[in-house]
Structure 1
Amino acid sequence: MSKSICVITNPKSGTNSNDANAIDRVMAILGDQAQLIETDPESGFEGAVEKALEQGCATIVAAGGDGTIVGISSLLLDKDVTMGVLPLGTFNFFARGLGIPEDPEEAARALLHGEPKKISVGSVNGQIFLNNASLGVYPVILKNREATYKHWGRSRIVAHISMLKTFLQFDRVLKIRIMSEGVEKTIETPLVFVARSSYQLDMFNLEGEDAIKEDNFAVFTAVSQGRYTMLKNVWRLVRRTMKQGRDFDLYKVQELDIDTGRKEELVAFDGEKAKMKTPLEFRMHTDALRILVPKEGA
Protein backbone atom coordinates (compact mmCIF):
# COMPACT_ATOMS: atom_id res chain seq x y z
CA MET A 1 0.00 0.00 0.00
CA SER A 2 1.39 3.43 -0.91
CA LYS A 3 1.97 6.01 1.82
CA SER A 4 0.81 9.62 1.62
CA ILE A 5 3.94 10.95 3.40
CA CYS A 6 7.53 10.04 2.56
CA VAL A 7 10.22 11.23 5.00
CA ILE A 8 13.67 11.44 3.41
CA THR A 9 16.64 11.57 5.74
CA ASN A 10 20.35 11.94 5.06
CA PRO A 11 22.36 9.88 7.60
CA LYS A 12 25.35 12.22 7.11
CA SER A 13 23.39 15.36 7.97
CA GLY A 14 24.06 17.18 11.24
CA THR A 15 21.45 17.04 13.98
CA ASN A 16 20.20 19.55 16.53
CA SER A 17 19.08 16.74 18.84
CA ASN A 18 21.22 14.56 21.08
CA ASP A 19 18.55 11.87 20.95
CA ALA A 20 19.49 9.31 18.29
CA ASN A 21 15.85 8.21 18.22
CA ALA A 22 14.51 11.56 17.03
CA ILE A 23 13.49 10.18 13.64
CA ASP A 24 11.79 7.18 15.27
CA ARG A 25 9.74 9.50 17.47
CA VAL A 26 8.81 11.58 14.44
CA MET A 27 7.67 8.53 12.50
CA ALA A 28 5.56 7.42 15.48
CA ILE A 29 3.73 10.76 15.42
CA LEU A 30 3.21 10.68 11.65
CA GLY A 31 1.77 7.17 11.97
CA ASP A 32 0.97 4.53 9.37
CA GLN A 33 0.47 7.08 6.60
CA ALA A 34 4.25 7.74 6.53
CA GLN A 35 7.31 5.82 5.42
CA LEU A 36 11.01 6.53 5.93
CA ILE A 37 13.49 6.67 3.03
CA GLU A 38 17.24 7.02 3.70
CA THR A 39 19.60 8.38 1.07
CA ASP A 40 22.49 6.19 -0.01
CA PRO A 41 25.94 7.21 -1.32
CA GLU A 42 25.26 5.99 -4.87
CA SER A 43 21.93 7.61 -5.76
CA GLY A 44 21.84 10.38 -3.12
CA PHE A 45 18.85 12.71 -2.98
CA GLU A 46 17.90 11.92 -6.57
CA GLY A 47 17.37 8.24 -5.81
CA ALA A 48 15.42 8.94 -2.63
CA VAL A 49 13.11 11.48 -4.30
CA GLU A 50 12.59 9.19 -7.28
CA LYS A 51 11.58 6.37 -4.92
CA ALA A 52 9.15 8.68 -3.09
CA LEU A 53 7.57 9.78 -6.36
CA GLU A 54 7.25 6.17 -7.51
CA GLN A 55 5.46 5.41 -4.23
CA GLY A 56 2.94 8.11 -5.11
CA CYS A 57 3.65 10.23 -2.03
CA ALA A 58 1.62 13.42 -1.95
CA THR A 59 4.00 14.97 0.60
CA ILE A 60 7.78 14.52 0.57
CA VAL A 61 9.46 15.58 3.80
CA ALA A 62 13.12 16.62 4.02
CA ALA A 63 14.50 15.64 7.44
CA GLY A 64 17.88 17.23 8.13
CA GLY A 65 19.77 20.48 7.98
CA ASP A 66 19.55 23.26 5.42
CA GLY A 67 21.86 21.33 3.08
CA THR A 68 19.53 18.33 3.03
CA ILE A 69 16.49 20.56 2.62
CA VAL A 70 17.91 22.47 -0.34
CA GLY A 71 19.13 19.24 -1.95
CA ILE A 72 15.63 17.75 -1.87
CA SER A 73 13.79 20.96 -2.71
CA SER A 74 15.81 21.41 -5.91
CA LEU A 75 14.35 18.11 -7.15
CA LEU A 76 10.76 19.11 -6.35
CA LEU A 77 10.58 22.45 -8.17
CA ASP A 78 7.44 22.88 -10.28
CA LYS A 79 6.31 19.32 -9.44
CA ASP A 80 2.77 18.41 -8.39
CA VAL A 81 3.88 17.42 -4.90
CA THR A 82 4.03 19.19 -1.54
CA MET A 83 7.26 19.43 0.42
CA GLY A 84 7.53 19.27 4.20
CA VAL A 85 10.47 20.13 6.47
CA LEU A 86 11.72 18.44 9.65
CA PRO A 87 14.64 20.61 10.87
CA LEU A 88 17.49 18.49 12.25
CA GLY A 89 20.45 20.73 11.43
CA THR A 90 22.67 23.16 13.31
CA PHE A 91 21.01 26.46 12.41
CA ASN A 92 17.78 25.51 10.58
CA PHE A 93 17.37 28.99 9.09
CA PHE A 94 14.88 27.92 6.43
CA ALA A 95 12.57 26.14 8.86
CA ARG A 96 12.77 28.93 11.43
CA GLY A 97 11.88 31.44 8.74
CA LEU A 98 8.72 29.47 7.97
CA GLY A 99 7.76 29.25 11.66
CA ILE A 100 8.41 25.48 11.82
CA PRO A 101 9.43 24.33 15.33
CA GLU A 102 12.98 23.08 15.78
CA ASP A 103 11.87 20.35 18.15
CA PRO A 104 11.46 17.24 15.92
CA GLU A 105 8.22 16.06 17.52
CA GLU A 106 6.61 19.50 17.44
CA ALA A 107 7.70 19.85 13.81
CA ALA A 108 6.05 16.50 13.00
CA ARG A 109 2.77 17.66 14.53
CA ALA A 110 3.04 20.93 12.57
CA LEU A 111 3.38 18.84 9.40
CA LEU A 112 0.19 16.95 10.11
CA HIS A 113 -1.77 20.17 10.56
CA GLY A 114 0.08 22.40 8.10
CA GLU A 115 -1.19 24.07 4.94
CA PRO A 116 0.53 24.27 1.53
CA LYS A 117 2.02 27.54 0.37
CA LYS A 118 3.91 28.37 -2.82
CA ILE A 119 7.25 30.11 -2.34
CA SER A 120 9.87 31.56 -4.67
CA VAL A 121 13.49 30.38 -4.61
CA GLY A 122 16.78 31.61 -5.99
CA SER A 123 19.49 29.90 -8.01
CA VAL A 124 23.13 30.51 -8.86
CA ASN A 125 24.35 28.85 -12.07
CA GLY A 126 21.29 26.61 -11.82
CA GLN A 127 21.96 25.56 -8.21
CA ILE A 128 18.89 26.25 -6.06
CA PHE A 129 19.24 28.04 -2.72
CA LEU A 130 16.56 28.88 -0.15
CA ASN A 131 18.37 31.09 2.38
CA ASN A 132 21.43 32.65 0.79
CA ALA A 133 24.36 32.26 -1.58
CA SER A 134 27.69 34.02 -1.24
CA LEU A 135 31.28 34.35 -2.38
CA GLY A 136 34.37 35.70 -0.69
CA VAL A 137 35.01 35.12 2.99
CA TYR A 138 31.81 33.17 3.81
CA PRO A 139 32.54 30.07 1.64
CA VAL A 140 35.96 29.94 3.32
CA ILE A 141 34.20 30.05 6.70
CA LEU A 142 32.14 27.00 5.70
CA LYS A 143 35.23 25.18 4.47
CA ASN A 144 37.05 25.78 7.75
CA ARG A 145 33.93 25.03 9.78
CA GLU A 146 33.68 21.51 8.38
CA ALA A 147 37.26 20.82 9.46
CA THR A 148 36.49 22.18 12.94
CA TYR A 149 33.32 20.04 13.18
CA LYS A 150 35.36 16.89 12.51
CA HIS A 151 37.55 17.67 15.49
CA TRP A 152 35.10 19.20 17.98
CA GLY A 153 31.67 18.04 16.78
CA ARG A 154 28.71 20.05 15.47
CA SER A 155 27.33 22.92 17.54
CA ARG A 156 26.49 26.59 17.09
CA ILE A 157 29.26 27.75 19.45
CA VAL A 158 31.86 25.74 17.48
CA ALA A 159 30.56 27.32 14.27
CA HIS A 160 30.90 30.83 15.70
CA ILE A 161 34.46 30.19 16.96
CA SER A 162 35.45 28.83 13.57
CA MET A 163 33.97 31.91 11.88
CA LEU A 164 35.96 34.29 14.08
CA LYS A 165 39.17 32.36 13.40
CA THR A 166 38.57 32.61 9.63
CA PHE A 167 38.03 36.38 9.80
CA LEU A 168 41.32 36.74 11.68
CA GLN A 169 43.16 34.92 8.88
CA PHE A 170 41.28 36.01 5.75
CA ASP A 171 43.06 38.59 3.58
CA ARG A 172 41.60 38.22 0.07
CA VAL A 173 39.59 41.05 -1.48
CA LEU A 174 37.48 40.31 -4.54
CA LYS A 175 37.53 42.71 -7.46
CA ILE A 176 34.18 41.97 -9.07
CA ARG A 177 32.05 43.23 -11.92
CA ILE A 178 28.33 43.27 -11.08
CA MET A 179 25.82 43.35 -13.93
CA SER A 180 22.11 43.73 -13.23
CA GLU A 181 19.20 45.03 -15.29
CA GLY A 182 21.47 46.79 -17.77
CA VAL A 183 23.64 48.43 -15.10
CA GLU A 184 27.29 47.48 -14.61
CA LYS A 185 29.50 48.32 -11.64
CA THR A 186 33.02 47.32 -10.54
CA ILE A 187 33.75 47.08 -6.81
CA GLU A 188 36.25 45.61 -4.36
CA THR A 189 34.84 43.62 -1.47
CA PRO A 190 35.72 40.66 0.78
CA LEU A 191 32.14 39.38 0.68
CA VAL A 192 29.10 39.24 -1.58
CA PHE A 193 26.03 37.90 0.25
CA VAL A 194 22.87 37.23 -1.78
CA ALA A 195 19.94 36.81 0.60
CA ARG A 196 16.55 35.16 0.13
CA SER A 197 15.70 34.70 3.82
CA SER A 198 13.98 37.62 5.53
CA TYR A 199 14.37 35.67 8.79
CA GLN A 200 18.16 35.97 8.64
CA LEU A 201 17.96 39.68 7.85
CA ASP A 202 15.58 40.32 10.74
CA MET A 203 17.80 38.30 13.08
CA PHE A 204 20.71 40.69 12.44
CA ASN A 205 18.55 43.83 12.01
CA LEU A 206 19.58 44.20 8.36
CA GLU A 207 17.62 45.99 5.66
CA GLY A 208 16.32 44.22 2.56
CA GLU A 209 13.23 42.39 3.84
CA ASP A 210 11.05 44.39 1.44
CA ALA A 211 13.08 43.13 -1.52
CA ILE A 212 12.58 39.51 -0.49
CA LYS A 213 8.83 39.99 -0.03
CA GLU A 214 8.72 41.34 -3.60
CA ASP A 215 10.50 38.19 -4.90
CA ASN A 216 13.83 39.95 -5.36
CA PHE A 217 17.31 39.30 -4.00
CA ALA A 218 18.80 41.43 -1.25
CA VAL A 219 22.46 41.63 -2.27
CA PHE A 220 24.98 42.80 0.34
CA THR A 221 28.57 43.73 -0.49
CA ALA A 222 30.87 44.40 2.46
CA VAL A 223 32.87 47.62 2.48
CA SER A 224 36.53 46.79 1.85
CA GLN A 225 38.71 48.55 4.44
CA GLY A 226 41.04 45.84 5.75
CA ARG A 227 40.92 43.03 8.27
CA TYR A 228 40.37 45.27 11.30
CA THR A 229 37.23 46.75 9.73
CA MET A 230 35.97 43.24 8.91
CA LEU A 231 36.33 42.18 12.55
CA LYS A 232 34.64 45.39 13.70
CA ASN A 233 31.76 44.66 11.35
CA VAL A 234 31.43 41.13 12.74
CA TRP A 235 30.99 42.70 16.18
CA ARG A 236 28.44 45.15 14.76
CA LEU A 237 26.61 42.26 13.12
CA VAL A 238 26.38 40.43 16.45
CA ARG A 239 25.15 43.61 18.13
CA ARG A 240 22.67 44.26 15.27
CA THR A 241 24.14 47.70 14.57
CA MET A 242 25.28 47.33 10.94
CA LYS A 243 24.57 50.38 8.76
CA GLN A 244 24.12 50.63 5.01
CA GLY A 245 26.72 52.86 3.39
CA ARG A 246 29.14 52.65 6.30
CA ASP A 247 29.50 48.86 6.60
CA PHE A 248 27.87 47.50 3.45
CA ASP A 249 26.12 48.40 0.23
CA LEU A 250 22.72 46.91 -0.62
CA TYR A 251 21.25 46.08 -4.04
CA LYS A 252 17.66 44.93 -4.56
CA VAL A 253 17.45 43.04 -7.84
CA GLN A 254 15.74 40.02 -9.44
CA GLU A 255 18.64 39.07 -11.71
CA LEU A 256 22.36 39.41 -11.12
CA ASP A 257 25.58 38.39 -12.91
CA ILE A 258 28.92 38.54 -11.10
CA ASP A 259 32.31 38.23 -12.79
CA THR A 260 35.37 37.84 -10.54
CA GLY A 261 37.90 37.66 -13.35
CA ARG A 262 38.65 34.04 -12.50
CA LYS A 263 37.53 30.91 -14.34
CA GLU A 264 35.99 29.43 -11.18
CA GLU A 265 34.88 30.75 -7.82
CA LEU A 266 34.06 28.98 -4.56
CA VAL A 267 30.39 29.67 -3.84
CA ALA A 268 28.43 28.91 -0.66
CA PHE A 269 24.71 28.12 -0.75
CA ASP A 270 22.60 27.19 2.28
CA GLY A 271 25.50 25.76 4.23
CA GLU A 272 26.96 23.86 1.27
CA LYS A 273 29.74 24.96 -1.07
CA ALA A 274 30.97 24.24 -4.61
CA LYS A 275 33.28 25.65 -7.23
CA MET A 276 31.31 27.29 -10.05
CA LYS A 277 32.26 28.74 -13.42
CA THR A 278 32.12 32.50 -13.77
CA PRO A 279 30.36 34.72 -14.46
CA LEU A 280 27.94 33.65 -11.73
CA GLU A 281 24.29 33.93 -12.78
CA PHE A 282 21.73 34.57 -10.01
CA ARG A 283 18.10 34.05 -11.04
CA MET A 284 14.68 33.95 -9.34
CA HIS A 285 12.16 31.10 -9.72
CA THR A 286 8.76 32.51 -8.81
CA ASP A 287 6.25 30.32 -6.91
CA ALA A 288 8.32 27.26 -7.86
CA LEU A 289 8.02 25.25 -4.62
CA ARG A 290 4.88 24.17 -2.76
CA ILE A 291 5.70 23.68 0.89
CA LEU A 292 3.80 22.87 4.09
CA VAL A 293 3.83 25.67 6.65
CA PRO A 294 2.10 25.96 10.04
CA LYS A 295 -1.43 27.36 9.80
CA GLU A 296 -1.70 31.05 10.53
CA GLY A 297 -2.17 31.59 14.25
CA ALA A 298 -1.05 28.05 15.12
Structure 2
Amino acid sequence: MRPPARCATASASSWLRGGDGSVAGVAHALAGTQAALAVLPLGTFNYFARGLNMPEDPEAAARAILDGQPHDIRVGTLNGRVFLNNVAIGLYPAILEEREASYARFGRYRLLAHLASLRTILRFQAPHRMELYQDETRMRIRTPMLFVARSAYQLDQFGPEGGEAISDDRFVVFLAHQQTRLGFLRLAWRLIRKRVDHGRDVIVSTPRRLAVAVRGRRQIPVALDGEKLKMKLPLRIQLNDHALRVILPPDKAGALK
Protein backbone atom coordinates (compact mmCIF):
# COMPACT_ATOMS: atom_id res chain seq x y z
CA MET A 1 0.00 0.00 0.00
CA ARG A 2 1.35 3.46 -0.88
CA PRO A 3 1.86 5.75 2.12
CA PRO A 4 -0.53 8.69 2.50
CA ALA A 5 0.52 11.80 0.60
CA ARG A 6 0.16 13.79 3.82
CA CYS A 7 -0.89 12.81 7.33
CA ALA A 8 -0.68 15.03 10.39
CA THR A 9 -2.19 14.83 13.84
CA ALA A 10 -3.80 17.82 15.52
CA SER A 11 -5.35 17.45 18.97
CA ALA A 12 -7.58 14.35 18.87
CA SER A 13 -8.04 14.21 15.07
CA SER A 14 -5.95 12.74 12.25
CA TRP A 15 -6.14 14.66 8.97
CA LEU A 16 -5.51 12.61 5.87
CA ARG A 17 -4.97 13.41 2.22
CA GLY A 18 -5.08 10.42 -0.15
CA GLY A 19 -7.23 7.83 -1.88
CA ASP A 20 -9.42 5.16 -0.29
CA GLY A 21 -6.53 2.71 0.03
CA SER A 22 -4.45 5.20 2.00
CA VAL A 23 -7.45 6.11 4.15
CA ALA A 24 -8.07 2.43 4.95
CA GLY A 25 -4.47 2.05 6.11
CA VAL A 26 -4.84 4.91 8.59
CA ALA A 27 -8.30 3.68 9.64
CA HIS A 28 -6.71 0.33 10.55
CA ALA A 29 -4.42 2.14 13.02
CA LEU A 30 -7.16 4.37 14.46
CA ALA A 31 -10.00 1.85 14.89
CA GLY A 32 -10.72 1.37 18.59
CA THR A 33 -8.96 4.59 19.64
CA GLN A 34 -10.44 7.96 20.64
CA ALA A 35 -8.75 9.72 17.70
CA ALA A 36 -11.16 10.82 14.96
CA LEU A 37 -10.34 10.42 11.27
CA ALA A 38 -10.98 13.46 9.03
CA VAL A 39 -10.69 12.83 5.28
CA LEU A 40 -10.00 15.32 2.48
CA PRO A 41 -11.38 13.85 -0.81
CA LEU A 42 -8.26 14.09 -2.97
CA GLY A 43 -8.06 10.55 -4.37
CA THR A 44 -9.45 9.20 -7.65
CA PHE A 45 -12.95 8.13 -6.59
CA ASN A 46 -13.17 9.19 -2.90
CA TYR A 47 -15.98 6.75 -2.11
CA PHE A 48 -15.34 6.86 1.62
CA ALA A 49 -15.19 10.66 1.90
CA ARG A 50 -18.25 11.04 -0.32
CA GLY A 51 -20.05 8.43 1.77
CA LEU A 52 -19.40 10.67 4.79
CA ASN A 53 -21.13 13.49 2.86
CA MET A 54 -17.89 15.46 2.56
CA PRO A 55 -17.90 18.15 -0.15
CA GLU A 56 -15.71 17.23 -3.13
CA ASP A 57 -14.09 20.68 -3.17
CA PRO A 58 -11.02 20.46 -0.87
CA GLU A 59 -11.49 23.90 0.69
CA ALA A 60 -15.16 23.24 1.38
CA ALA A 61 -14.25 19.83 2.83
CA ALA A 62 -11.64 21.40 5.12
CA ARG A 63 -14.22 23.89 6.43
CA ALA A 64 -16.72 21.05 6.95
CA ILE A 65 -14.11 19.14 8.94
CA LEU A 66 -13.34 22.13 11.16
CA ASP A 67 -17.05 22.59 11.90
CA GLY A 68 -17.85 18.86 12.02
CA GLN A 69 -18.56 16.40 14.81
CA PRO A 70 -17.13 12.94 15.64
CA HIS A 71 -19.27 9.90 14.89
CA ASP A 72 -18.54 6.17 15.42
CA ILE A 73 -19.00 3.74 12.50
CA ARG A 74 -18.48 -0.01 12.00
CA VAL A 75 -15.90 -1.07 9.43
CA GLY A 76 -15.08 -4.42 7.87
CA THR A 77 -11.94 -6.52 8.24
CA LEU A 78 -10.32 -8.94 5.82
CA ASN A 79 -8.13 -11.44 7.71
CA GLY A 80 -7.87 -8.81 10.44
CA ARG A 81 -7.09 -5.89 8.12
CA VAL A 82 -9.56 -2.97 8.07
CA PHE A 83 -11.36 -2.05 4.86
CA LEU A 84 -13.90 0.72 4.30
CA ASN A 85 -15.61 0.20 0.93
CA ASN A 86 -15.07 -3.22 -0.63
CA VAL A 87 -13.12 -6.43 -1.04
CA ALA A 88 -13.02 -8.35 -4.32
CA ILE A 89 -11.32 -11.37 -5.89
CA GLY A 90 -11.30 -12.55 -9.48
CA LEU A 91 -11.74 -10.07 -12.30
CA TYR A 92 -11.71 -6.89 -10.20
CA PRO A 93 -8.08 -7.18 -8.93
CA ALA A 94 -7.02 -7.72 -12.54
CA ILE A 95 -8.83 -4.49 -13.44
CA LEU A 96 -6.89 -2.65 -10.72
CA GLU A 97 -3.57 -3.95 -12.05
CA GLU A 98 -4.43 -2.70 -15.55
CA ARG A 99 -5.63 0.61 -14.10
CA GLU A 100 -2.41 1.22 -12.16
CA ALA A 101 -0.38 0.56 -15.31
CA SER A 102 -2.45 3.19 -17.14
CA TYR A 103 -2.06 5.67 -14.27
CA ALA A 104 1.71 5.22 -14.28
CA ARG A 105 1.85 5.99 -17.98
CA PHE A 106 -0.78 8.71 -18.43
CA GLY A 107 -1.77 10.04 -14.97
CA ARG A 108 -4.68 9.42 -12.61
CA TYR A 109 -7.94 10.08 -14.49
CA ARG A 110 -11.34 8.43 -13.98
CA LEU A 111 -11.73 7.85 -17.73
CA LEU A 112 -8.55 5.75 -17.68
CA ALA A 113 -10.02 3.63 -14.89
CA HIS A 114 -13.07 2.83 -17.05
CA LEU A 115 -10.91 2.05 -20.11
CA ALA A 116 -8.76 -0.26 -17.96
CA SER A 117 -11.91 -2.12 -16.93
CA LEU A 118 -12.86 -2.62 -20.57
CA ARG A 119 -9.40 -3.91 -21.53
CA THR A 120 -9.37 -6.37 -18.64
CA ILE A 121 -12.79 -7.74 -19.53
CA LEU A 122 -11.66 -8.27 -23.13
CA ARG A 123 -8.72 -10.35 -21.79
CA PHE A 124 -10.96 -12.31 -19.43
CA GLN A 125 -9.65 -15.72 -18.30
CA ALA A 126 -11.25 -18.74 -16.61
CA PRO A 127 -13.57 -18.33 -13.57
CA HIS A 128 -12.61 -19.51 -10.07
CA ARG A 129 -14.17 -22.45 -8.26
CA MET A 130 -15.04 -21.02 -4.84
CA GLU A 131 -16.32 -22.43 -1.59
CA LEU A 132 -18.10 -19.86 0.58
CA TYR A 133 -19.32 -19.95 4.15
CA GLN A 134 -21.81 -17.12 4.74
CA ASP A 135 -22.92 -17.06 8.37
CA GLU A 136 -24.09 -20.68 8.77
CA THR A 137 -24.55 -21.42 5.04
CA ARG A 138 -22.10 -23.28 2.82
CA MET A 139 -22.03 -22.70 -0.95
CA ARG A 140 -19.94 -23.91 -3.90
CA ILE A 141 -19.90 -21.85 -7.07
CA ARG A 142 -17.91 -21.28 -10.26
CA THR A 143 -17.66 -17.53 -10.78
CA PRO A 144 -15.21 -15.01 -12.30
CA MET A 145 -15.72 -12.44 -9.55
CA LEU A 146 -16.76 -12.06 -5.92
CA PHE A 147 -17.39 -8.51 -4.68
CA VAL A 148 -18.08 -7.70 -1.01
CA ALA A 149 -19.43 -4.21 -0.30
CA ARG A 150 -19.46 -2.28 2.97
CA SER A 151 -20.19 1.18 1.50
CA ALA A 152 -23.84 2.10 0.95
CA TYR A 153 -22.67 5.13 -1.03
CA GLN A 154 -20.72 3.03 -3.52
CA LEU A 155 -23.62 0.64 -3.96
CA ASP A 156 -25.90 3.56 -4.78
CA GLN A 157 -23.50 4.79 -7.46
CA PHE A 158 -23.78 1.53 -9.42
CA GLY A 159 -27.42 0.72 -8.85
CA PRO A 160 -27.43 -2.52 -6.83
CA GLU A 161 -29.57 -2.37 -3.72
CA GLY A 162 -28.24 -3.09 -0.27
CA GLY A 163 -28.11 0.16 1.71
CA GLU A 164 -30.45 -1.23 4.37
CA ALA A 165 -28.21 -4.26 4.88
CA ILE A 166 -25.19 -1.99 5.35
CA SER A 167 -27.11 0.01 7.97
CA ASP A 168 -27.98 -3.30 9.68
CA ASP A 169 -24.25 -4.08 10.05
CA ARG A 170 -24.18 -6.61 7.22
CA PHE A 171 -22.12 -6.96 4.07
CA VAL A 172 -23.58 -7.07 0.57
CA VAL A 173 -22.00 -9.91 -1.44
CA PHE A 174 -22.20 -10.11 -5.24
CA LEU A 175 -21.27 -13.25 -7.18
CA ALA A 176 -21.22 -12.74 -10.93
CA HIS A 177 -23.22 -15.20 -13.04
CA GLN A 178 -21.51 -14.24 -16.30
CA GLN A 179 -18.89 -16.65 -17.63
CA THR A 180 -17.85 -15.00 -20.93
CA ARG A 181 -16.30 -11.74 -22.16
CA LEU A 182 -19.54 -10.80 -23.89
CA GLY A 183 -21.49 -11.51 -20.71
CA PHE A 184 -19.22 -9.25 -18.70
CA LEU A 185 -19.44 -6.45 -21.22
CA ARG A 186 -23.22 -6.65 -20.94
CA LEU A 187 -22.96 -6.60 -17.13
CA ALA A 188 -20.64 -3.56 -17.25
CA TRP A 189 -23.14 -1.76 -19.48
CA ARG A 190 -25.99 -2.57 -17.08
CA LEU A 191 -23.91 -1.28 -14.16
CA ILE A 192 -23.34 2.00 -15.96
CA ARG A 193 -27.08 2.30 -16.60
CA LYS A 194 -27.95 1.13 -13.04
CA ARG A 195 -30.02 -1.75 -14.42
CA VAL A 196 -28.35 -4.78 -12.86
CA ASP A 197 -30.75 -7.71 -12.50
CA HIS A 198 -30.03 -9.55 -9.24
CA GLY A 199 -31.38 -12.82 -10.57
CA ARG A 200 -29.95 -12.75 -14.09
CA ASP A 201 -26.62 -10.94 -13.64
CA VAL A 202 -25.51 -11.58 -10.05
CA ILE A 203 -26.29 -13.63 -6.95
CA VAL A 204 -26.73 -11.29 -3.96
CA SER A 205 -26.54 -12.12 -0.25
CA THR A 206 -26.22 -10.06 2.92
CA PRO A 207 -24.22 -11.98 5.54
CA ARG A 208 -22.67 -10.64 8.73
CA ARG A 209 -19.51 -12.69 8.13
CA LEU A 210 -18.08 -14.94 5.43
CA ALA A 211 -15.10 -17.11 4.60
CA VAL A 212 -13.85 -17.84 1.08
CA ALA A 213 -11.66 -20.64 -0.25
CA VAL A 214 -10.62 -21.10 -3.89
CA ARG A 215 -10.00 -24.56 -5.31
CA GLY A 216 -6.34 -25.23 -6.10
CA ARG A 217 -5.06 -21.98 -4.55
CA ARG A 218 -3.23 -21.17 -1.30
CA GLN A 219 -3.16 -17.44 -1.91
CA ILE A 220 -4.88 -15.10 -4.33
CA PRO A 221 -4.77 -11.48 -5.56
CA VAL A 222 -7.28 -9.38 -3.63
CA ALA A 223 -8.60 -5.88 -4.26
CA LEU A 224 -8.97 -4.04 -0.94
CA ASP A 225 -10.37 -0.50 -1.20
CA GLY A 226 -8.67 0.04 -4.54
CA GLU A 227 -5.34 -1.50 -3.51
CA LYS A 228 -4.16 -4.79 -4.98
CA LEU A 229 -2.32 -7.33 -2.77
CA LYS A 230 -1.90 -11.08 -2.35
CA MET A 231 -3.43 -12.78 0.68
CA LYS A 232 -3.43 -16.31 2.03
CA LEU A 233 -6.60 -18.34 1.79
CA PRO A 234 -9.10 -18.77 3.27
CA LEU A 235 -10.25 -15.16 3.33
CA ARG A 236 -12.23 -14.26 6.45
CA ILE A 237 -14.44 -11.18 6.31
CA GLN A 238 -16.30 -9.77 9.29
CA LEU A 239 -17.02 -6.51 11.09
CA ASN A 240 -14.25 -5.05 13.19
CA ASP A 241 -14.72 -5.48 16.92
CA HIS A 242 -13.77 -1.82 17.45
CA ALA A 243 -15.57 1.23 16.08
CA LEU A 244 -13.82 3.81 13.92
CA ARG A 245 -14.40 7.44 14.91
CA VAL A 246 -14.76 9.79 11.93
CA ILE A 247 -15.49 13.50 11.50
CA LEU A 248 -18.79 14.24 9.76
CA PRO A 249 -19.82 17.59 8.28
CA PRO A 250 -22.28 19.62 10.39
CA ASP A 251 -25.83 18.23 10.45
CA LYS A 252 -24.85 15.13 8.39
CA ALA A 253 -24.71 12.42 11.08
CA GLY A 254 -28.35 11.47 10.56
CA ALA A 255 -27.83 11.00 6.82
CA LEU A 256 -24.92 8.56 7.17
CA LYS A 257 -25.73 4.96 6.18
TM-score, normalisation: structure 1: 0.81
1:39-71 CA distance string (max 9 Å, x none): 6xxxxxxxx7xxx4xxx7311111111111111
Query: Post-superposition shift, 1:286?
Result: 5.4
5+ residue gaps, structure 1, are: 1-8, 12-37, 40-47
Matched, 1:189 2:150: no
Cα deviation 1:200-252 (Å, max 9, x = unaligned): 11111111111101011000000033111111000000011001110001110
Give me the CA root mean square deviation: 1.6
Is the contact made by 1:119 and 1:286 (CA closer than 8 Å) also made in structure 2?
A: no
The aligned counterpart of 1:77 is 31
Q: In 1, Cα distance between the equivalents of 2:252 and 2:204?
A: 33
The structural deviation recorded for 1:98 is 0.9
Q: Which amino acid aligns with 1:241?
A: R
Determine the structure 2 residue equivalent to 1:269. 224
What is the aligned length?
Answer: 250
Matches of residues 233-244 of structure 1 in structure 2 within 5 Å? 233-244=187-198
Q: Which position in structure 1 is the counterpart of 2:251?
A: 296
Could you say which residue in structure 2 is the equivalent of 1:229? 183
Question: Counterpart of 1:172 in 2: which secondary structure?
Answer: coil
Shift of 1:107: 0.6
Structure 1 residues 61, 213: closer, same or farther in 2, change over 3 A? same
CA 270–152 in structure 1, closer or farther in 2 if over 3 Å, else same:
same
- Given the alignment of the two structures, is residue 177 of structure 1 paired with residue 141 of structure 2, yes or no? no
Structure of greater Rg: 1
Q: Secondary structure at 1:142's aligned position in 2?
A: helix
User: Are 2:4 and 2:23, in contact at CA under 8 Å, matched by a contact in 1?
Assistant: no
Letter in 1 for 2:223: A
Q: What is the CA–CA distance in structure 2 between the aligned matches of 1:277 and 1:126, rounded to whole Å? A: 12
CA distance in 2 between counterparts of 1:284 and 1:112 reads: 29
SS state at 1:207 partner: coil
- The one-letter amino acid paired with 2:251 is E
Contact 1:118/1:287 (<8 A) preserved? no
4, 9, 32: which one pairs with 1:10?
4
Higher relative contact order (CA 8 A, sep 6+): 2
1:287 CA displacement: 5.8
> Percent sequence identity over matched residues?
44
CA distance, structure 2, for counterparts of residue 269 and residue 181 of structure 1: 21
Contact 1:87 1:95 in 2 (8 A): yes
Aligned residue for 1:248? 202
Question: How many Å apart are 1:126 and its aligned residue?
Answer: 1.3
Distance 2:189 2:80 in 1: 34
Question: What's the TM-score, normalizing by structure 2?
Answer: 0.93
* Runs of 4 or more above 3 Å deviation: none
Give structure 2 stretches of 5+ with no counterpart: none
CA contact (8 A) 1:133 1:268 kept: yes
> Quick one: which amino acid aligns to residue 10 of structure 1?
P
Match of 2:66 among 91, 112, 136: 112
Letter in structure 1 aligned against 2:237: F
